[in-house]
Amino acid sequence: MMRTIAGAAIATLLTLSAQAQTTAPDDLAARNIQRRAVEAMIWGMPAVNADLMLQTMLKSTKAKPNEIVYWSKPVNWKNQTLTPNPDSIYFMSFWNVKDGPVVVEIPPAEGGSIAGNIVTLWQMPLEDTGPEGADKGQGGKYLILPPGYKGEVPAGFIALQSDVFSGFALLRSNLASHSDADVEKSVAYGKRIKVYPLANAKEPPPTSFTDAYDVLFDATIPYDASFYRGLDRVVQNEPWLDRDRAMIDQLATIGIVKGKPFNPDPSTVALLDQAAREAHALLARIYDAGFPVINPGIRWFPAAVPEMVKAASGGYGDPNAYPVDMRGVTYTLGYTGIKRLGTAQFYLMANKDKDGRDFDGNGTYRLTVPANAPVKQYWSATVYDRETHALVRNMPSASRASISPGLQKKADGSVDVYFGPKAPEGKEANWVPTDPARKFELLFRLYGPEKALFDHSWKLPDVERVAMTVGGAR
């Protein structure tokens, strides 16, 4: 039997080879562009993801690199980044060290705290900040160094050697509750963050803060030819990394060459559009299959697979591993890299209900969060658009959390959270709205996760569908 299968495979290969020899040169060239463009999108996803946020900031706000853009309230649906947290106050600094080292100064965790990550453009984590980061809540001056930096590092700084010129700091000012007073307190604490050049460290100038709340901030991934313009911008502005030099010729095939303009003709644009759709389908297929679950028999899975966490936290230093495919999937779902995943926060995702069906925005679902959730701060359950992985557009709210006002608990301390187009009667405080015309996915956050999550003595159960609205699933 095996010989028969092998013989058939060889015959097929010989047939394909013969066909290739008779294929017109123009057809071969077109297929080569399309094939290499698929791989380029998968490989370049984390960098283009970061560049999209930077370009959106530059177009939609007055903020500039080495300043801070922030959201003065928990984000609403107009923040169209990937899987943002609507139960935190966001501060972001898109740093650039082409002109010299830059300092990101985090205040001591007194009267507030920061859960932060400093990453390169490739979203490789350089360091975490705050109580679970390198400063351990004492506050710290994180010094980001340019590639090949040979200068001295002054005493009292936490040096971070970057291999590229740009990246960002994602700094979440933690919330005690959603009350106006606690939101204002969280914002005021976050405004104690400073960003400045090392050259001005003795007398740092005031840090510029730009509020982006209620601004349409669309940084969702474009699965078309425009993606490759972002990729070209990355290639032009950043040095080649040794681990990625194999992509130089690959990108040249599609017209992206360092030092040269990227001007694809209409036929190439059409091929790039096709390639982007194919890459999207490949990445979506991996995600749809689900990542390894945290507890056998339950569908919730960690938002990053172990091989990706290991590679990124180690700076992709293992010469025998480079999980480009899983990295590509990861950065279609979210952004930032975390060096110490499982300390400041932990993320669980679900894209199917208990019975293995996709979440349908036309249905009503229930998640029972067991009592004594293993968190030092809070848990939250957030709805995202299944297609874009951003907050569902035009929804009045996106999550319910243990810090949400009026959240109802049952007698045993557990909490039922409902997801659907209409709140079950009397359950408005525990309800997250969905768009009946769209599928959705869920992300469960644990801030300050504790041992019971990791030793599996506390388990988050599957989400159950309890009703379908008239019209049913599509």
Domain boundary residue, one of 263, 287, 311: 287
Same domain assignment for residues 116 and 94 = yes
In a shared domain, residues 296 and 439: yes
Same-domain check for residues 243 and 382: no
Residues 6 or more apart in contact with residue 199 via CB below 8 angstroms: 100
271 belongs to a structural domain: yes
Question: In CATH, what number is assigned to the domain containing residue 294?
Answer: 2.60.120.600
The answer on 248 and 296 residing in a single domain is no
- Residue 127 in domain: yes
Domain that holds residue 84: 62-214
User: In the prediction, which pLDDT does 290 show?
Assistant: 84
Give residue 19's pLDDT.
Answer: 55
Total of domains in the chain = 3
Residue 400: CB atoms within 10 A of its CB come to 27
Go through 320-342 and write b for each residue having 16 or more CB atoms within 10 A of its CB, e for each that does not.
eeebbbbbbbbbbbbbbbbbebe
Task: DSSP letter for 40, please.
Answer: H
In this structure, is residue 227 part of a structural domain?
yes
Give yes or no: residues 134 and 231 share one domain.
no
How do 114-120 and 209-211 pair as beta strands? unpaired
The reported pLDDT for the residue numbered 3 is: 45
Q: Are residues 171 and 240 in the same domain?
A: no
**343/416 same-domain check:** yes
**Is 357 part of a structural domain of the chain?**
yes
Chain-centroid distance of CA 244 in Å reads 21
Q: What stretches of 351-474 show up as alpha helix (H) in DSSP?
A: 451-454
The three-state secondary structure class of 291 is coil
List CB contacts of 314: < 8 A, sequence separation 6 or more: none
Q: What is the pTM of this model?
A: 0.92
Q: Quick one: 273 and 191 in the same domain?
A: no
pLDDT means per 10 residues, the chain with 474 residues, are 49 52 80 97 98 98 98 98 98 98 98 97 97 97 97 96 98 97 98 98 97 98 98 98 97 98 98 98 94 97 91 90 96 94 94 97 98 98 98 98 97 98 97 98 98 98 86 42
Residues comprising the chain, all counted = 474
SS3 438: coil
Report the distance separating Cα 400 and Cα 379, nearest Å: 9
450 shares a domain with 343: yes
Look up the CATH number of the domain holding residue 29: 1.10.3360.10
pLDDT recorded at residue 57: 98
Residue 16 lies in a domain: no
CATH number (domain holding residue 75): 2.60.40.1610
Verify that 49 and 180 share a domain, yes or no. no
DSSP-derived 3-state class of residue 433: strand
Co-location of 201 and 171 in the same domain: yes
What number of CA atoms fall less than 13 Å from residue 256's CA on the CB side? 27
Which residue among 191, 214, 237 closes a domain? 214
Helix (H, G, I), strand (E, B) or coil at 234: helix
Residue 14 lies in a domain: no
Does any domain span residue 66? yes
Task: Report whether 174 contacts 186 (CB < 8 A).
Answer: yes
In the listed set 170, 195, 214, which residue is the last one of a domain according to the structure? 214
Q: Would you state the structure tokens that stand for residue 368, as one six-digit string?
A: 């029972």
Residues 161 and 122 in one domain: yes
Does residue 124 sit within a domain? yes
